[in-house]
Amino acid sequence: MTKVSTYEIDIVKSPTSKINDVDFDNLSFGRTFTDHMFYCDFIDGEWQQPKIKPYGPMSIDPSARVFHYGQAVFEGMKAYKDDQGGVFLFRPEENFARINRSAKRLAIPEFPKDYFFKGLTTLLNLDKAWIKSGDGNSLYIRPFVIATDSAIAAAPSENYRFMIICSPAKAYYKGSVKVLIAEKFSRSANGGVGFAKAAGNYAAQFYPTNLAQQKGFQQVIWTDADTHTFLEEAGTMNVFFRIGDTLITAPTSDRILDGVTRKSIIQLAEDNGIRCDVRPITVNEIIEASKNGSLKEIFGTGTAAVISPVSAFEHHDSIYELPEITANSYSSILKKNMLGIQHNLSEDKHGWRYELK
């Protein structure tokens, strides 16, 4: 068998573009997709020739293992365009490394780095017009891998498909959210898959989040599965607490996802002379701090919203309100810093921007 040269991507361009049908001022997150998609199949123990095709439905056997056992992982990243037309990614090496850490935990073969970057940059160059410059605009990028074997025996698949699809996004700002602290349900456990971006982690969160929403809360703050006393993540975001002038966020573990935004915010806090302690933090500690007035802020961090402030939290049927957000809130300062770097508006002293060539 001759091995195909996998380095060249087989490209079929879309004969027409859908871009003129899209109302870029009224995008709802993750519902509109660009003209092309990237994919690469893993067959006979090898990643095959990568391909780019017009975005659209694809045919998969109903017995494909992804449908039965949830063997799937994904990533979330963004591209930004500056006013000169330059396109930038933010720390994409981190997303590449993480999709392979997630893949390993789900018994999915690792995807080669050169395929990932060549696929990503070729796709972005083809669909560059979909990345709009200006405040809050970006292109959300979704790499993912699914198990494609036509076989429902409960075993890891032998065949997989790696894909990248892209969706234009506006600023993802829903105002501050009210959250419920989990007292019964858990997102993750020791030795589990909480650190991985496994598709099933999200499915497992939907029901408890629906219950929280029925009670008037937008999100759940997840606590440790054993005792429900340690604060771990907020919805699908990492979470930070400001007590006095110190930020606190939990250390990453089996149960806590190592967010690119989280680690960037920790660095930016340091750059701003804001102390940030990475240590376990308990529910009691924030309740005490709320009662004595030293709890100033709670915010979630993640690629989609960057920073999402919390206005109130509930625990044991008591509601604790947080102070109003101002321009001097740490969440406002750090979000502005992040967006400045991402949109190529400020100095990038840590080398986080990756310019599309």
Ligand X SMILES: *Cc1c(COP(=O)(O)O)cnc(C)c1O
Whichever of 76 and 280 has its CB closer to ligand X, that residue is 76
Q: Which of 302, 335, 338, 344 binds ligand X (CB under 6 A)?
A: 302
Distance from C-alpha of 34 to C-alpha of 333, rounded to nearest angstrom: 32
Residue 125 dihedral angles phi and psi, to the nearest 5°:
-65, -40
Our finding on whether 87 is near ligand X (CB under 6 A) is no
Q: What angle do CA 230, 221, 218 make, to 5 degrees?
A: 170
Q: Which residues of 203-222 are buried (b: 16+ CB within 10 A; e: fewer)?
A: ebbeebbeebeeeebbbbbb
Our finding on whether 259 is near ligand X (CB under 6 A) is yes
Our finding on whether 257 is near ligand X (CB under 6 A) is yes
Our finding on whether 303 is near ligand X (CB under 6 A) is yes
Cβ neighbours for 310, distance < 8 A, ≥ 6 positions apart: 176, 177, 178, 179, 219, 234, 297, 298, 299, 300, 322
Whichever of 261 and 329 has its CB closer to ligand X, that residue is 261
Distance from C-alpha of 350 to C-alpha of 263, rounded to nearest angstrom: 12
Residues in the chain: 357
Our finding on whether 91 is near ligand X (CB under 6 A) is no
Our finding on whether 124 is near ligand X (CB under 6 A) is no
What is the sign of the dihedral through the CA atoms of 97, 307, 34 and 341?
A: negative
Which candidate, 253, 258, 255, places its Cα nearest to that of 222? 255
Our finding on whether 262 is near ligand X (CB under 6 A) is yes
CB of 29 to ligand X, least distance (A): 14
Q: Which of 52, 123, 231, 260 binds ligand X (CB under 6 A)?
A: 260
Whichever of 191 and 293 has its CB closer to ligand X, that residue is 191
Distance from C-alpha of 126 to C-alpha of 9, rounded to nearest angstrom: 12
Q: Which of 32, 71, 138, 261 binds ligand X (CB under 6 A)?
A: 261
3-state secondary structure of 100: helix
Whichever of 48 and 252 has its CB closer to ligand X, that residue is 252
Q: Which of 30, 54, 76, 134 binds ligand X (CB under 6 A)?
A: 76
Query: Can you name the residues that pair with 310 across neighbouring β-strands?
Result: 177
Our finding on whether 141 is near ligand X (CB under 6 A) is no
Q: Are strands 219-223 and 177-181 parallel, antiparallel or unpaired?
A: parallel
Distance from C-alpha of 43 to C-alpha of 53, rounded to nearest angstrom: 19
CB of 193 to ligand X, least distance (A): 10
Whichever of 186 and 301 has its CB closer to ligand X, that residue is 301
User: Where in 270-289 is the site for ligand X (CB under 6 A)?
Assistant: none
CB of 272 to ligand X, least distance (A): 19
Contact of 289 with 231, CB cutoff 8 Å:
no
CB of 228 to ligand X, least distance (A): 17
Q: Which of 165, 177, 199, 237 binds ligand X (CB under 6 A)?
A: 237
Our finding on whether 224 is near ligand X (CB under 6 A) is no
Q: Round the CA-based radius of gyration of the chain to a whole number and report it.
A: 21
Q: Which of 148, 236, 290, 342 binds ligand X (CB under 6 A)?
A: 236
Tokens 């068998």 identify what position?
1
User: Where in 146-205 is the site for ligand X (CB under 6 A)?
Assistant: 197
Whichever of 50 and 300 has its CB closer to ligand X, that residue is 300
* Residues found near ligand X in the complex (CB under 6 A): 76, 197, 233, 236-238, 257, 259-262, 301-303
